DNA sequence: GGTGAAATTCGGATTGA
DNA sequence: TCAATCCGAATTTCACC
């Protein structure tokens, strides 16, 4: 039953308790309790507005695979990455490439600067490989919930 | 000035007009007008709750590069991908691999099923290459805004 | 275009059933 | 869990700067 609440929140952000209740045939207070429990359990990390990158002048999305000299410079590298706003995601990968960065920049010139100046000047970075996104078919802020459905 | 509003919305989701106004030294009505303008301009695509994948039992994140027989089966492939909840993102890439999928599944068994059964059974899929995320350092729902700051 | 105040409306907490 | 009430807060409207 709570999966329905998660779907509602994921699709609409913060809603009024009454509206949530109406969707599930619950009263307002009952809905409030459920949502608060979900927040306390840590299932809900927060709320956000979804901004449109294109409209913000961020025409270029790319992935950058970064090989890192291990493991001495790791901490400094990660600290630097967290500060860099253009880096939207950073994953530690199994396999050849240590880290994959998802970045958003205004144009290819900015991407060039990010890779050639910023990233390659970080100590421990042995090399990078950039893959450019031509178009995005799907980009969901919500993790899948269907695996919970059989409950 | 409106960049501050975007940052607020990105960090907190829907807020009360009064709270937004307080942050900028504006009155409630003035803040309301600004936000509505941002929404009408298409800068704000929507609002969402940020759910924690780990807490939802989605322990495995991975990227799957998919080579596709072009271009006959493209439309059907994309339609199928959009329906697949486990696929959180789908990008059309420049270079060797046609599409990169970001997927979230409960465990490696589910990943195996997704790749071997679901994806490879789609007509036109020539091959896949799966890269597993060991840990995620950074994952932001907000695009960078610092490139707008000089305004 | 922005401010301030007033009035109305709406949501949320509490109580009792 | 639901229903009802009360309180508080938020949004809208209006008049003014």
Write the pLDDT tens digit of every residue in A24-72. 888 888 999 999 999 999 999 999 999 999 999 999 999 999 999 978 8
What confidence score (pLDDT) does residue B10 get?
96
What confidence score (pLDDT) does residue B151 get?
52
Any B CB within 8 A of A58 CB? yes
- Whether the CB-CB separation of A94 and B132 falls below 8 Å is answered with yes
Return positions of chain D under 7 A from a protein CB. 1-4, 9-14
Q: What confidence category does residue A2 fall into, taking pLDDT thresholds of 50, 70 and 90?
A: confident
Per-residue pLDDT for A150 more than 70? Answer: no
Per-residue pLDDT for B1 more than 70? Answer: no
Write the pLDDT tens digit of every residue in B115-148. 999 999 999 999 999 999 999 999 999 999 999 9
Taking all residues of chain B, what is their mean pLDDT, rounded to a whole number? 94
Per-residue pLDDT for A1 more than 70? Answer: no
D10 C1' to A151 CA distance, Å: 38
Whole-number Å distance between alpha carbons of B12 and B19 = 11
Task: Pick A47's closest partner by Cβ from B13, B43, B146.
Answer: B13
Nearest CA in chain A to B55: A43
Per-residue pLDDT for A151 more than 80? Answer: no
Tell me how far CA of residue A33 lies from CA of A29, B14, B110, in angstroms.
6, 20, 33
Task: Pick A52's closest partner by Cβ from B43, B94, B147.
Answer: B43
CA distance B34 to chain A (A): 15
Alpha-carbon Rg for chain B in angstroms: 20
The per-residue DSSP string of A14-67 comes to S--HHHHHHHHT--HHHHHHHHHHHHHTTSEEEEEEEE-TTTTT--EEEEEEEE
- For the segment B27-35, the average pLDDT, to the nearest whole number, is 93
Write the pLDDT tens digit of every residue in B3-16. 999 999 999 999 99
Write the pLDDT tens digit of every residue in A116-134. 999 999 999 999 999 999 9
Whole-number Å distance between alpha carbons of B108 and B131 = 12
Return positions of chain C under 7 A from a protein CB. 2-5, 10-15
C9 C1' to B146 CA distance, Å: 39
Interface of B with A in 16-35 (CB under 8 A): none
B78-89 residues labelled b (16+ CB within 10 A) or e (exposed): bebbeebbbbbb
What confidence score (pLDDT) does residue B111 get?
98
Residues of A in contact with B133 (CB under 8 A): 91-94, 100
Strand C nearby residues, CB < 7 A: A 16-19, 28-29, 32; B 25-30, 33
Q: Which residue has the higher pLDDT, A138 or B2?
A: A138
Percentage with pLDDT > 90 across chain A: 86
């Amino acid at each position: 039953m709570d999966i329905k609440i998660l779907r509602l929140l994921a699709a609409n952000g913060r809603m009024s308790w009454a509206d949530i209740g109406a969707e599930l045939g619950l009263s307002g207070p009952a809905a409030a309790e459920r949502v608060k429990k979900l927040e306390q359990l840590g299932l809900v990390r927060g709320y956000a507005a979804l901004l449109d990158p294109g409209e913000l002048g961020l025409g270029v999305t790319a992935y950058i695979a970064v090989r890192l000299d291990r493991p001495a410079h790791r901490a400094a590298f990660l600290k630097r990455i967290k500060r860099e706003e253009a880096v939207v995601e950073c994953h530690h990968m199994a396999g050849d490439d240590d880290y994959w960065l998802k970045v958003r920049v205004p144009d290819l010139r900015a991407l060039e600067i990010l890779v050639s100046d910023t990233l390659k000047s970080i100590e421990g970075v042995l090399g990078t490989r950039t893959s450019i996104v031509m178009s995005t078919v799907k980009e969901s802020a919500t993790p899948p919930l269907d695996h919970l459905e059989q409950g």
